C-alpha cells in the first residue's frame, strides 16, 4: 500500500506492506484522513506514535470502508462505511482499526467530511461534556475557535444550549465562526473583559492562563487540550484558583487505552452523530489534498489562517454518502 511517511522531518509518499487485521480489528480502505496538530508535532519528532501504531505513518483520524475483518470482529460488515480515531497510520491506503474504536459514517456525510470528523469531534465532545460537564445555559469560551477542534466545540456548545464566545485572531474568519454558533467571535486581546465564563476550552496554550483565571466564573472549569503557543507559565497565582473554587483539567486522546477510547467513541455516537446526520452541525473543510500532495497539505496546515479542517483524499476521496453541508 501507499502511505504518507515521515522521513528526516519531511512527509512523503512511500510503499509499505499491507497491514493485516488482528483479533477484533477491521481492515479499512481509507478514503479520507484529516490532518491535526499532533501530525505536525510527529513530523518534527516531538510526538511519537504510541506502542502498536506505525512509527512512521502519521494520521489520527480516517474514514473508509471495511474490506476485511479479523477474528471475532462482528460489529461491522464488509463494505460498511466507518470512521475512527487511531493512534497513527490513518494517512494511508489501508489501516487497521479495532471495531470498538470505529463508528458508522452518517448518511449525510461524504468521504471528505467524514475524514475530518473523528479526532476533532471526539476531542471536543470529551472535553466539553465528559471533562467539563458543560450544562445548558452556561457560558463557554473557546480559544482558537477557527481550527478543527474549535469549530467542533463551538457547534457542540451551541447545540447543548450553552452561550458560546469564541476567540478568533483573523477578523475575516469571525463572521463564519458566528455562523457556526458563537454568540460573539472576538479578538483574543482583552478576551477576559467579556467574561465571566463557566467553561473555558484552552486550545492555544499557557500565555492565555492569567487572563483565563480573571475571566473564569466562580466554580468555573478550564480544560486544556492545546498548547501550540507554549506549555509553560512563568507564574501561576493559586489564590485566584482557590478564590473562584475553580478546576483545571488537561486531556489528550491519542495515547488512551482501547477501553477509554471505546467509551469516547460511544459518547460521540450518542451525542454527535445524530447532529451531523440531521445537519444541525457540520464539518467545515478549509482545503483538500490528494495523497500524492501530502507534503503540500502539511505545509498548508502549518501556515495557519485556515477555517476548519485540512483533509487528505485517498483514492475516491470525495465520493459516498449524501454530501453534507460545510464550507
- pLDDT-derived band at 206 (thresholds 50, 70, 90) equals confident
Residue 320 has pLDDT above 60, yes or no: no
DSSP 46: S
- Residue 306: CATH number of its domain: 3.90.180.10
With CA atoms as reference, report the closest residue to 288 among 32, 43, 81: 32
Q: Decide if 146 is inside a domain.
A: yes
| Bridging pattern class, strands 309-313 and 285-290 | parallel
Residue 157 has pLDDT above 60, yes or no: yes
Determine if residue 211 is left, alpha or beta; phi over 0 gives left, psi from -120 to 50 gives alpha, anything else beta.
alpha
Q: Which three cell numbers stand for residue 172?
A: 475575516
- pLDDT-derived band at 240 (thresholds 50, 70, 90) equals confident
- Which pLDDT score, from 0 to 100, does residue 135 have? 98
Three-class DSSP category at 69? strand
Residues 6 or more apart whose CB falls under 8 angstroms from that of 78 comprise: 66, 67, 68, 69
Please say whether the beta carbons of 315 and 31 come within 8 A: yes
Stretch (H or E) spanning 67: strand 61-69
- Which pLDDT score, from 0 to 100, does residue 316 have? 60
- Residue 196: CATH number of its domain: 3.40.50.720
pLDDT digits (tens, 9 = 90+) for 86-132: 999 999 999 999 999 999 999 999 999 999 999 999 999 999 999 99
- Which pLDDT score, from 0 to 100, does residue 234 have? 81
For residue 9, with 0-12 CB atoms within 10 Å meaning exposed, 13-18 middle and 19 or more buried, which class applies?
exposed
Q: Measured between alpha carbons, how far is 115 from 62 in angstroms, rounded to an integer? A: 5
- Which pLDDT score, from 0 to 100, does residue 305 have? 85
- pLDDT-derived band at 253 (thresholds 50, 70, 90) equals confident
Q: Measured between alpha carbons, how far is 95 from 127 in angstroms, rounded to an integer? A: 27
Q: Measured between alpha carbons, how far is 264 from 299 in angstroms, rounded to an integer? A: 30
Q: Range of 297's domain? A: 2-117+254-313
Of all residues in the chain, what percent carry a pLDDT higher than 70?
96
Residue 258 and residue 284 in one domain: yes
Q: Which three cell numbers stand for residue 21?
A: 487485521
Q: Measured between alpha carbons, how far is 274 from 281 in angstroms, rounded to an integer? A: 9
Return the exposure string of 282-313: e unless at least 16 CB atoms fall within 10 Å of the residue's CB, then b. bbbbbebbebeebeebbebbeeeebbbbbbbb
The whole-chain average pLDDT of the chain stands at 93
Residue 274 has pLDDT above 80, yes or no: yes
Residue 327 has pLDDT above 50, yes or no: no
Q: Decide if 225 is inside a domain.
A: yes
Residue 139 and residue 75 in one domain: no
pLDDT digits (tens, 9 = 90+) for 28-58: 999 999 999 999 999 999 889 999 899 999 9
Residue 80 and residue 105 in one domain: yes
Query: Mean pLDDT, to the nearest integer, of 212-241?
Result: 89
Q: Decide if 79 is inside a domain.
A: yes
pLDDT digits (tens, 9 = 90+) for 168-204: 999 999 999 999 999 999 999 999 999 999 999 999 9
Amino acid at each position: 500500500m501507499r502511505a504518507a511517511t515521515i522521513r528526516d522531518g519531511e512527509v512523503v509518499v512511500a510503499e509499505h506492506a499491507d497491514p493485516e487485521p488482528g483479533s477484533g480489528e477491521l481492515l479499512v480502505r481509507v478514503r479520507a484522513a484529516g490532518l491535526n496538530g499532533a501530525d505536525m508535532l510527529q513530523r518534527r519528532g516531538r510526538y511519537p506514535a504510541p506502542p502498536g501504531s506505525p512509527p512512521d505513518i502519521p494520521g489520527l483520524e480516517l474514514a473508509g470502508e471495511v474490506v476485511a475483518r479479523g477474528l471475532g470482529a462482528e460489529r461491522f460488515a464488509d463494505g460498511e462505511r466507518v470512521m475512527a480515531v487511531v493512534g497513527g497510520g490513518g494517512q494511508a491506503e489501508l489501516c487497521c482499526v479495532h471495531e470498538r474504536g470505529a463508528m458508522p459514517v452518517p448518511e449525510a456525510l461524504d468521504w471528505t467530511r467524514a475524514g475530518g470528523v473523528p479526532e476533532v469531534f471526539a476531542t471536543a465532545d470529551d472535553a466539553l461534556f465528559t471533562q467539563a460537564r458543560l450544562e445548558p445555559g452556561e457560558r463557554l469560551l473557546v480559544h482558537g475557535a477557527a481550527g478543527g477542534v474549535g469549530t467542533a466545540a463551538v457547534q457542540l456548545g451551541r447545540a447543548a444550549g450553552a452561550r458560546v464566545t469564541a476567540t478568533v485572531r483573523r477578523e475575516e474568519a469571525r463572521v463564519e465562526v458566528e455562523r457556526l454558533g458563537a454568540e460573539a467571535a472576538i479578538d483574543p486581546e482583552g478576551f477576559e473583559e467579556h467574561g465571566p465564563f463557566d467553561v473555558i476550552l484552552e486550545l492555544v496554550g499557557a500565555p492565555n492562563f492569567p487572563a483565563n483565571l480573571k475571566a473564569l466564573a466562580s466554580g468555573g472549569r478550564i480544560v486544556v487540550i492545546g498548547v501550540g503557543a507554549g506549555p509553560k507559565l512563568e507564574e501561576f497565582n493559586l489564590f485566584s484558583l482557590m478564590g473562584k473554587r475553580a478546576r483545571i483539567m488537561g486531556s489528550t486522546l491519542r495515547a488512551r487505552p482501547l477501553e477509554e477510547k471505546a467509551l469516547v467513541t460511544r459518547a460521540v455516537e450518542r451525542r454527535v452523530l445524530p447532529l451531523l446526520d440531521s445537519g444541525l452541525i457540520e464539518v467545515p473543510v478549509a482545503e483538500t489534498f490528494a495523497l500524492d500532495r501530502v507534503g503540500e497539505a502539511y505545509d498548508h496546515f502549518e501556515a495557519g489562517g485556515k477555517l476548519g479542517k485540512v483533509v487528505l483524499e485517498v483514492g475516491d476521496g470525495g465520493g459516498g454518502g449524501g454530501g453534507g453541508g460545510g464550507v
